[in-house]
Chains A and B, each alone.
Chain A
């Protein structure tokens, strides 16, 4: 079982890190949304897919390239998220949080269904931007520049979001709203507005991940439907409310998954779920979560 070289080890760890960046950025979005809205956003995968599609639309119909899409696509999907929040999610206020899960599940089915009807399932190809064509020979592996960029971009955005939430005034409002919405409202914070924007931000993060993913994966309507479950598990492992927890566990689970692919590939599909079960046994609140 352990007949692999250090070369392969480094290669797999790097690949794991790339996947971990996706997990981190997706679980971060889920964690932010959960923190303030107490909603498990089941449509996260569908919105991730939408992000990728927006980039594809931009390129195909408007000639908008990758770099503007990296900003525009999250913006558009973020606005879409704001509309969803105002029109639908807001109506669930005061109800059991499970309804949020069910509503967003329904939304995911609708969004995916619509895209499938319009674009089929084979998907569309999105090219790697010219600037990042090619790659670097690291000795132990060939690292496509684009993959390197994914790590940098994802982690930068993750830490920027973390910084905004933990170190700025806006973030302080957000944390106050998360901690106790009623008191925050009484203190003059516009909590409904904050809630709407938070959902928009979380969704925009999903779309950002979608644009990052577009050149790597085939852009197709079902690209987000399975990843969302893995990300759920990542979030449970990290502890739902924790911003840093979701980033760290996202990255490290990607690496663990990569390592599993090396030593026992048959288990790589389930390793995250197994870890989740173990974490729940040892620390039910998640690695970084506060006890419920």
Chain B
């Protein structure tokens, strides 16, 4: 480890002032900080690293930039301190300009704070927490793909505006995340003239949900809202089918990803409503990109991985446009841009760091409707960008002047 004496020079360099790199960059370095081994590795993980590299290759091939681009990646093991440590090390020692992916809330928030401190950029695709664009927001962080508000709001709003989606029962993971998801959705349901008949708070992580599902069944609600995530959601869905609750009552997944549907199969998930920012089979563009991704990774991309590609590409475009990797200038260029690619149409990055774009409400197909592997969703409606995300005037982000 003696080779790290180089650090001395770096420390000295930093002491001279953070803007030492304000000139046109030789090399732009992107650090993909993700979960390569844990609970979220299917959602982001290796697929996100792959998507990042695709974006870099495409950018170089198409834009022929004057600078080089390097990608490094690390497994934060879902530990906030490892994420913070790694981000700091990358920024200080390895000259990384952008830390990205950032799945799980605690690691994303931690890395975003380090980025602020070091005046570098963080683009969050994996994590769902709205805290990133509210209380904990800053001017170097972009929350790109989705958040809990957009998923809960999208699903609950669309479902409760239908005549058979008026009465709800929530199955909620009993901690801050679940409570927030439930509160966001319940507000929309009520606003749409629906009624919340009851709530079951289940321990997290749980494995057997039948007790809570029986309560939901007894409530007679038309919709059972799943305010939980990951294996909790998949097990709830599976057991709802087992107990004959679905399809009599419908499920609304408030944080469900295509990987969950793939794992559960259509038999257990059919008819379920969910919101995503991306689906591979939306149009020719998404199909073309997703096929490339599939050839590399042997599975279809999640919205996180698609967002990872899109955001990386946008970042590199901004660096090219700004002619520098200076954080403030790149951020300004990104916020000035209108994002148009296979992932987003007319996407804009707001002052609170929220990238707003259309979201999509899907219903899971019946097994007989699915013609091929990964053919899972029917598009029910497109939620326009201005409705999909939390309105700016509701944001508690200190950067937003009111």
Please determine whether chains A and B interact with each other in the same assembly.
yes
Is B208 in contact with chain A by the CB < 8 A criterion?
A: yes
Q: How far is the CA of A117 from the CA of B41 in the complex (A)?
A: 9
Find residues 67-117 in chain A having any chain B CB closer than 8 Å to their own CB. Answer: 113, 116-117
Closest A residue by C-beta to B205: A226
Pick the residue among B174, B218, B238 that contacts A218 (CB under 8 A). Answer: B238
| Closest-CB distance, B263 to chain A (whole angstroms) | 4
Determine the residue in chain B with the shortest Cβ distance to A226: B205
Residue of B with least CB distance to A144:
B242
**Interface 1/0 per residue, B165-185 and A, CB below 8 Å:** 000000000100000000000
Q: Is A15 an interface residue (CB 8 A)?
A: yes
Do A220 and B231 contact each other (CB < 8 Å), given the known contacts A15-B214, A121-B41, A125-B238?
yes
- Do A262 and B41 touch across chains, with their CB atoms under 8 A apart? no
A113 neighbours in B (Cβ, 8 Å):
37
| Residues in A whose Cβ lies below 8 Å from that of B211 | 11-12, 15-16, 258, 261-262, 265, 268
B interface footprint on A249-292 (CB within 8 Å = 1, 0 otherwise) = 00000000010011001101100000000000000000000000
Q: From residue 243 to 269 of chain B, which have CB atoms closer than 8 A to chain A?
A: 243-244, 259-260, 262-265, 267-268
Do A123 and B244 form a contact, CB below 8 Å, given A12-B214, A216-B239, A258-B211? no
B207 within 8 A of A: yes
The residues of A that contact B214 with a CB separation of less than 8 Å are 8, 11-12, 15, 141
Q: Report the minimal beta-carbon distance from A135 to chain B, rounded to whole angstroms.
A: 6
| Cα–Cα, bound, A220→B39 (Å) | 10
State the CA gap A262–B263 with chains docked (Å). Answer: 30
- State A128–B267 Cα separation when bound (angstroms): 12
Q: How far is the CA of A113 from the CA of B75 in the complex (A)?
A: 14
Contacts of A123 in B (CB 8 A): 231, 234, 263
Q: Is B65 interfacial (CB-CB < 8 Å)? A: no
CB nearest to A225 among chain B residues:
B205
A125 with B263: CB separation less than 8 A: yes
Within 8 A of A (CB), among B187-242: 200-208, 210-212, 214-215, 217-218, 231, 234-235, 238-239, 242
B contact residues, total (Cβ < 8 Å): 39
**B25 to nearest A CB, angstroms?**
36
Complexed CA–CA distance, A125 and B211 (Å) = 21
B384 on interface, CB distance cutoff 8 Å? no
Q: Which residues of B contact A226 (CB under 8 A)?
A: 205, 207
- Report Cα–Cα, A8/B219, bound state, in Å: 11
Contact with A along B369-399 (1 / 0, CB 8 A): 0000000000000000000000000000000
Q: Would you call B97 an interface residue if the criterion is a C-beta within 8 Å of the partner chain's C-beta atoms?
A: no
For residue B358, CB closer than 8 A to chain A, the reply is: no
Chain B residues contacting A147 (CB-CB under 8 Å) are 210, 242
Distance, CA A261 to CA B206, complexed state (A):
12
**Chain B 259-287 interface mask (CB, 8 Å, partner A; 1/0):** 11011110110000000000000000000
For residue B13, CB closer than 8 A to chain A, the reply is no
**B-contact 0/1 string along A188-228, CB 8 Å cutoff:** 00000000000000000000000000011110101100110
Interface string of B115-147 (1 = CB under 8 A from A): 000000000000000000000000000000000
Residues in A with CB closer than 8 Å to B204 are 269
Contact B207 A128 (CB under 8 A): no
CB of B42 within 8 Å of the partner chain: yes
Asked if A222 and B231 make an inter-chain contact with CB atoms under 8 angstroms apart, the answer reads yes
Q: Does B38 contact A (CB under 8 A)?
A: yes
A116-B37 in contact (CB<8A): yes
Task: Give B283-318 interface residues, CB cut-off 8 Å to A.
Answer: none
Residues on A with C-beta less than 8 A from B218 are: 5, 7-8
A residues 128-187 touching B (CB-CB < 8 Å) = 128, 135, 141-142, 144, 146-147
Cα-based distance from A120 to B230 in the complex (angstroms): 12
* A18/B244 contact (C-beta < 8 A), A125-B263, A218-B264 known: no
Q: Which residues of B contact A268 (CB under 8 A)?
A: 202-203, 211
B208/A19 in contact, CB under 8 A: yes
Q: Kindly state the separation between the CA atoms of A222 and B207 in the bound complex, as whole angstroms.
A: 11
In the complex, the chain B residue whose C-beta lies closest to that of A113 is: B37
Evaluate contact between A227 and B207: CB separation under 8 angstroms.
yes
Task: Choose from B200, B210, B267 the contact partner of A265 (Cβ within 8 Å).
Answer: B200
B234 near A122 (CB under 8 angstroms)? yes
Partner of B38, one of A121, A217, A269: A121
Those 5 A-B pairs whose CB atoms lie nearest each other, nearest first: A269-B203, A122-B263, A261-B211, A120-B42, A125-B265
